[in-house]
Chain A
Amino acid sequence: MNGGELPKELSSDELINIYKKMLLIRKFEQRITKDFGKIKSPLVHTYTGEEAIAVGACMAINEDDYITSTHRGHGHFIAKGGDVNSLMAEIYGKEGGICKGRGGSMHVADFSKSMLGANGIVGAGPPLALGVALASKMRNEGKVVLTFFGDGAANQGMLHESMNLAAAWKLPVIFILENNMYGWSTPFHAATAIKDFSIRAQGYGMKGFTIDGNDVIEVYKTIKEAVDIARNGGGPTLIECKTYRWQGQTIMDPDKYRSPEEKEEWKNRCPIKAYKTRLIRGEIIDKVMIQEIEEMTLVKIDESFKFAKENKNPDPSTVLDNVYKKPIKYGGN
Chain B
Amino acid sequence: MEGIKLVEETKTMRGLDAIRLAIEEEMERDESVFIMGEDIGKFGGCFFVTEGLLEKFGPERVRDTPISENAILGCAIGAAMAGMRPIAEIMFADFLTVCMEMIVNQAAKASYMYGGQISVPVTIRVPFGTGIMGAAQHSQSFESWFMHVPGLKVILPSEASDFKGLMKTAVRDDDPVIFFENKRAYYLTADVPLDKDFTIPFGQARIFTEGDDVTLVATGAMVQESMIAATKLTEENIHCEVIDPRTLVPLDKKTILTSVEKTGKLIIVDEGCKTCSVSAEIAAIVVEEGFQYLKKEIIRINTPDVPIPYSPKLEKKIIPNAKLIQEKIKKLI
Contact = CB atoms under 8 A, between A and B. Distances in A.
B320 interface: no
A98 B79 contact: no
B307 interface: no
Interface string B71-88: 101111111111110100
A153 interface: no
Given A111-B118, A323-B151, A329 B79 contact: no
A46 B70 CA distance: 28
B252 interface: yes
Contact of B101 (A117, A130, A158, A328): A158
A161 B71 contact: yes
A81 interface: no
B102 A328 contact: no
B106 interface: yes
A328 B202 CA distance: 9
B115 A100 contact: yes
Interface string B103-123: 001100011111111110000
Contacts of B201: 332
Contact of B252 (A164, A165, A331): A331
Contacts of B175: 324-325
A116 B81 contact: yes
A325 B115 contact: no
Interface stretch (B9-17, B60-68, B126-134, B272-280): B60-68
B153 interface: yes
B254 A331 contact: yes
A162 B71 contact: yes
A191 interface: no
Contacts of A332: 201, 203-205, 250, 252, 254-255
B134 to A, nearest CB: 24
Given A98-B115, A322-B115, A333 B71 contact: no
Contacts of A328: 153, 202-203, 249-250
A88 to B, nearest CB: 15
A131 B253 contact: no
B92 interface: no
A54 B251 CA distance: 45
Nearest to A97: B115
Contacts of A120: 105
24 contacts: A100-B116, A103-B114, A103-B115, A109-B114, A111-B118, A117-B114, A127-B75, A127-B106, A128-B74, A128-B81, A128-B106, A131-B76, A131-B79, A131-B84, A134-B84, A135-B82, A136-B82, A158-B71, A158-B74, A324-B153, A325-B119, A330-B252, A332-B252, A333-B205
Given A127-B74, A131-B76, A131-B79, 17 more contacts: A102-B112, A102-B113, A103-B114, A110-B117, A112-B117, A127-B71, A129-B74, A131-B78, A131-B84, A132-B79, A134-B79, A136-B82, A161-B66, A164-B71, A329-B250, A330-B254, A332-B252
